[in-house]
Amino acid sequence: MPDINKIREDFPILKRRREDDGKPFIYLDNAATSLKPIQVIEAVVNYYEKHCANIHRGVHTLSQEASQLYEEAHDKVAKFIGAKNREEIVFVKNTTEAINYVAYGLNWKPGDEIITTVMEHHSNIVPWQLIRDRFGVKIKFLDLKDKWYLNLEQLEDLITEKTKLIAVVHVSNVLGTINPVEEICKIAHEHEIPILIDGAQAVPHLPVDVKKIKCDFLAFSAHKMLGPTGVGALYIREGLGEEMCPTFGGGDMIRRVTLEKSEWNVMPWKFEAGTPNIAGGIGFGAAVEYLEKLGMEWVRNHEKELTKYLLERLHEIPKITVYGPEDVEKRGGVVAFTVEGLDSHEVAMYLDELENIAIRSGVHCAEPLHMKLGIPSSARASVYIYNTKEEIDIFCDTLEKVIKELT
């Protein structure tokens, strides 16, 4: 079993102390972005110090080395999610960009329909609204059932012969709900409809295998799974990439260019136009290696243990309402809550001021879901591999103190 203290030693920022009182940072904002281990930082620095060159552009040594490191990173990410090979892995800027690649890569016609859900992040709503307004398609929303879960019984009613795509979040960034994506994919494929999974909150936290899920597209970000910002991945099932239009045109995504027409490069480079975030991609590969050494089963079990403890502690505190499933088998390590009489931003601000605790506040880029829940905003604590029960105790004790003093 991994040693949590040794894990924490790998994260330089956890050694930082607040200047005025020397208190350590307690980082519970992992759903927004994760901290970075020294192994990832060194991988990025190593590229700039020893291999800094553009990829796929030169025959000189530095270019060949950089190209190899960047391509190997694709291999690592492919293996991590169970993809067949690097040809199924397109490096993008983040989950948002990955979803937009699908949105603008499909061939839309007026009257086509998209099905998504009310618990989506804005990144899986706004692109479809833009597509709707541009191409005249219709968006349908799968509703909730039993407060925290998707109403799968409604899905069959929403599907028609005009349904072009189903786009569903794997793990809600507010409720923490783990959606039954295998079942949803099965329903989609029974109707011969491609399906996109937003894996931003899933891939970093639990074992994800695209062969098992049988999704057509999977979008996720490196920065939520120990990697650098500005890089992510879009899994495109073998064969689908050839049918899609490239989202951006330019260098490296072409095989041949004349003044009259262009021929596209092979997958995945067809979708990676221009100079990419080479250092970020290499760091992404290092992050995947780090998680693989821990084992994603351990990552999941560690988070379940912390989440169970966090829920137990929060339920002991008066004036708190917690959102999401109680069963940790059905939720990720994201816990959103409200405090009676306090705005979520006030809660976050006082936690930061008193004990150097970082949580999230607001609508978490999921405003429609908050409207569905009937709340203007929520506070959100989210755990990851380096968090401990001791940190949860400090968080909950401080939260209780804030509530007693301000309400």
| Token duo for residue 355 | 């004990």
Q: Judge whether 396 counts as a catalytic residue.
A: no
- Tokens 């569903």, residue located: 168
Residue 106 near residue 99 (C-beta atoms within 8 A): no
Instruction: List the catalytic residue out of 52, 245, 365, 396.
Output: 365
52-57: long-range contacts, CB 8 A cutoff, minimum separation 24: 54/275, 54/278, 55/252, 55/275, 55/276, 55/278, 56/252, 56/269, 57/252
53's CB contacts (< 8 A; 6+ apart) are: 60, 62, 63, 65, 66
Hey, CA dihedral for 10, 175, 155, 137, is it positive or negative? negative
Report the C-alpha gap between 71 and 90 in whole angstroms. Answer: 11
Report H helices in 106-258: 126-135, 152-158, 181-190, 210-213, 240-243
Backbone angles phi, psi at 9, to 5 degrees: -65, -25
Neighbours of 243 (CB within 10 A): 11
Catalogue the active-site residues.
365
